[in-house]
Copies of this chain bind each other. A is one copy, B any other.
């Protein structure tokens, strides 16, 4: 590694040195990790492989000023969140990285953030690619889930309770303050920004919901938009209690913002990486236990209905007429 280290100092780091220095470690689960044409993974008998891929682009998913330590965390977190939504146990991931230039300090911080979260979930980095180009981070994550036990979108049933994990609206609050469309006290902004930069993938909750939840999805595009995916796939509707949704706010709670803004942030904010899921009424105690055992707050926010629309209820149980668009990576500015 001496010549690698020297090249870094000279600013002539090549693709192979870069991988060796920042992204190569012996795997714990995989049969074969970084350094061959393919990684090799053994899948236990009775288990299926859950796979998901997310691509993060500078200027769209993160700001050019993003702290690379947080970015390394977030790039993996949004992928682990997809595994969580399926109730899968993280096993391995591949990282493909396009970099405009090789800045060892940036890479060192980025990989530190990435490894910290990977270690927390004992998830092996087993392969990927590095190249020069506009900053782009593409991670593919692989997890195991027992056959027939994956949490999917299409299992919601009429009468199911609807729940969300954790806290909604914080990430979008931070983004809107950045954009200058909302204004909040500095301490609120700082807390919201940390939630935007370092989302917590709800892996443990997803695992605890196996066999309990009928349907689940993670909230990346906003609660309503993502809940709609469950409704469409399950051919059902929903009534959502907006007061319960507002009660999930963490940072936004003390922001002094108008109720309409708070509703927009929590219902259609996006970038939350919480889980929204449904479960039958007779599992309320089990859901509470899953929340406790996974150390993850869970809030019951509504019911699945037979009529196919999604209805928002106000604090008197009356339908709200306002609509909230979800976040779309192509449609929003």
Is the CB–CB distance between A38 and B132 below 8 Å? no
Select A134's contact among B13, B32, B133, beta carbons within 8 Å: B133
Q: Is the CB of B57 within 8 A of A133?
A: yes
A85 at the interface (CB under 8 A from B): yes
* Interface residues in A110-143 (C-beta closer than 8 Å to B): 126-134, 136, 138, 140, 142-143
Q: Which of B13, B53, B60, B150 contacts A133 (CB 8 A)?
A: B60
Q: Residue A45 at the B interface, CB < 8 A?
A: yes
Question: Which B residues are CB-close (under 8 A) to A97?
Answer: 55
Q: Are A45 and B48 in contact (CB under 8 A)?
A: no
Partner of A129, one of B39, B53, B129, B131: B53
* Chain B nearest Cβ from A274, distance in angstroms: 13
Bound form: Cα–Cα A138–B133 in Å: 13
**CB nearest neighbor in B for A225:** B16
Chain A 136-161: CB-based contact to B (< 8 A → 1; otherwise 0): 10101011010100101100000000
Please indicate the chain B residues that have their CB under 8 angstroms from the CB of A143 in the complex: 38
Query: Which residues of the partner chain B approach A331 to less than 8 Å between Cβ atoms?
Result: 12, 14-15
A51 in contact with B136 given A15-B329, A36-B152 (CB within 8 Å): no
Contact B330 A14 (CB under 8 A): yes
A10: interface (CB < 8 Å) = no
A contact residues, total (Cβ < 8 Å): 69
State whether the Cβ of A6 lies closer than 8 Å to any Cβ in chain B.
no
The one of B49, B85, B128 in contact with A43, judged by C-beta atoms closer than 8 angstroms, is B49
Contacts of A43 in B (CB 8 A): 43, 48-49
**Residue numbers in B under 8 Å from A263 (CB-CB):** none
**Distance of A216 Cα from B102 Cα, bound (Å):** 30
Q: Is the Cβ of B85 less than 8 Å from the Cβ of A132?
A: no
A92 to B140, CA, bound (A): 13
A50: CB under 8 A from chain B? yes
Shortest distance from the beta carbon of A214 to any chain B beta carbon, whole Å: 14
Does B49 contact A40, Cβ atoms closer than 8 Å? yes
Chain B neighbourhood of A58, CB < 8 A: 133
Q: Is the CB of A51 within 8 A of B41?
A: yes
- Give the Cβ gap from A239 to chain B, nearest Cβ, in Å: 24
Q: Which residues of B contact A39 (CB under 8 A)?
A: 50-52
Are A86 and B37 neighbours in the complex by a CB distance under 8 Å?
A: yes
Tell me if A180 is interfacial: C-beta within 8 Å of chain B: no
Please indicate the chain B residues that have their CB under 8 angstroms from the CB of A83 in the complex. 37-38
Complex contact B86–A38 (CB within 8 A): yes
Q: Does A18 contact B (CB under 8 A)?
A: yes
Q: How long is the Cα–Cα vector from A16 to B326 in the complex, in angstroms?
A: 12
User: B88 and A131: CB pair below 8 A?
Assistant: no
A185 is an interface residue with CB less than 8 A from chain B: no
Q: Are B57's CB and A330's CB within 8 A?
A: no
Which residues of chain A from 29 to 77 have any CB-CB distance to chain B below 8 Å in the complex?
31-32, 35-43, 45, 48-55, 57-61
